[in-house]
Structure 1
Amino acid sequence: MTIDAQQQETFTIGEVAERTGLSVHALRYYERQDLLVGPVQRTSGGRRIYTAVDIDWLQICVKLRESGMPLADLARFAALVRQGSGNEDERLKLLDEHRQHIEAQIHALEECRALIEWKVGVYSKHLRAGTATGLWDPGHGP
């Protein structure tokens, strides 16, 4: 399929929901919140029709939301993209700040994982040794 044919192919809201993992309700919400980079086209009967470009953008939105980007930041990013060229530095700043936030979350989760791994090791050691009864039980004396 050529790029022109791909861009001209249209999809129903149900097909877009299936391809993006968003519900039909979420797609309508994204549209109302101006999270899309272009207006959703409609058939003469008023039904929404989407393009491959819309799906690509929505898949980016899904990943940004899954990574914890607030809707306000996503809306700002979409607005910048809609404005066209000339604001790439603002887009980069927004994405870089989000990346830094994610890296801080990953670091915090790695610290949590290390503590849990240590705790699992302690419990495993005591269970193998038969000394786990009362382990960290505030009602059980030393």
Structure 2
Amino acid sequence: MQKKSPSAKVDYPRIVVMPTRWGDNDSYGHMNNVVYYSFFDSVVNKHLIENGVLDVARSEVVGLVIETQCTFFSSIGFPDDVAVGMKVVHLGRSSVRYEIALFRNDAQEASAVGQFVHVYVNRQSNRPTEIPAAVRAALAEITV
């Protein structure tokens, strides 16, 4: 298996800076793995909410996470700031694959790079459905 390399910050069309919290650290003094995934989830939903295409309480069509993965390159911990880079690498009929990278403070190489897949479903039936046009437009802005 070929060793992966960290991504560069310039490869991401959307960057959101988020702080770490004291409770994010684990007993080894760095950010717990589950917190990396929380950053992934937060940046995706922040993008959708800020673009007016997700109302977490009322949207008829919602994206459910069906797959995640993360490759770790270097540690992040409190009190670091995290620049979260986000891009869409695949935009299908009912699914979208995001690539998300976490950059520690002012670093230009990622500390971690992950994938995050949403499948869009009708909230009532929980069955896959086509990504709504407004959501697709918001995702197209960050598609590479």
TM-score bucket of the superposed structures, by smaller chain: under 0.3
Q: TM-score of the superposition, structure 1-length normalised?
A: 0.24
Q: Which one has the largest radius of gyration?
A: 1
Structure having the larger proportion of residues in helix: 1
Q: TM-score of the superposition, structure 2-length normalised?
A: 0.24
Where relative contact order (Cα < 8 A, 6+ residues apart) is larger, the structure is 2
